[in-house]
Amino acid sequence: MSQFEPTIVAFVCNWCTYTAADLAGTSRMLQPYNVKLIRMMCTGMVDPKYIIRALLSGADAVLVSGCHPGDCHYINGNYKARRRVKLLQEMLAQFGIDQRRLKLTWIGASEGNDFARTVAELVEEIRALGPNEARAVATL
């Protein structure tokens, strides 16, 4: 049996990180296949319920990524996301889910290389962390 391959769901904003992912693709920056994107219009619309559901139904980690502070296409949706993610991370800890399984990053539209690096690093980190146990509980 080879190494543990995590499943990671990324909620990314259409204007920045999704575009950065496109750019990483156009520039042929190889990435681990583990991260799958869900396109949102803004990180501000990422309901914490989506994140919890993802962590309970099979994701080993969730990435939320949007525009840099001040750059949000909708003025300040990313600040709202930042508050929600912070709060949620604290709650996750209380439920025994490692906080590192929820990550928030800012990746601008032109930062394809940052996107590829973030994906690679996150996969590495979660590989080291091992499978998400909440997932096993949820599937019992």
Q: Give the one residue of 10, 16, 21, 107 binding ligand FES; rule: CB under 6 A.
A: 16
Answer whether 34's CB lies under 8 Å from 61's CB.
no
- Two tokens, residue 3: 């190494």
Closest distance to another protein from the beta carbon of 100 (Å) = 19
Residue that is written with structure tokens 């709650």 in the block? 91
Q: Is 130 in the site for another protein (CB under 8 A)?
A: no
DSSP letter assigned to residue 67? P
- Two tokens, residue 64: 């939320």
Answer whether 71's CB lies under 8 Å from 108's CB.
yes
Q: Is 120 in the site for another protein (CB under 8 A)?
A: no
96 Rama class: left (phi>0) / alpha (psi -120 to 50) / beta:
left
Q: Give the one residue of 19, 34, 43, 118 binding ligand FES; rule: CB under 6 A.
A: 43
Residue that is written with structure tokens 């996301």 in the block? 81
Question: Rule CB under 8 A: which residues touch another protein?
Answer: 1-2, 5, 7, 9, 14-16, 18-19, 21-22, 24-26, 28-31, 33, 36-42, 44-50, 53-54, 57-59, 67, 70-71, 73-77, 80-81, 84, 108-111, 116
Question: Rule CB under 6 A: which residues touch ligand FES?
Answer: 13, 15-16, 42-44, 66-67, 72-74, 77-78
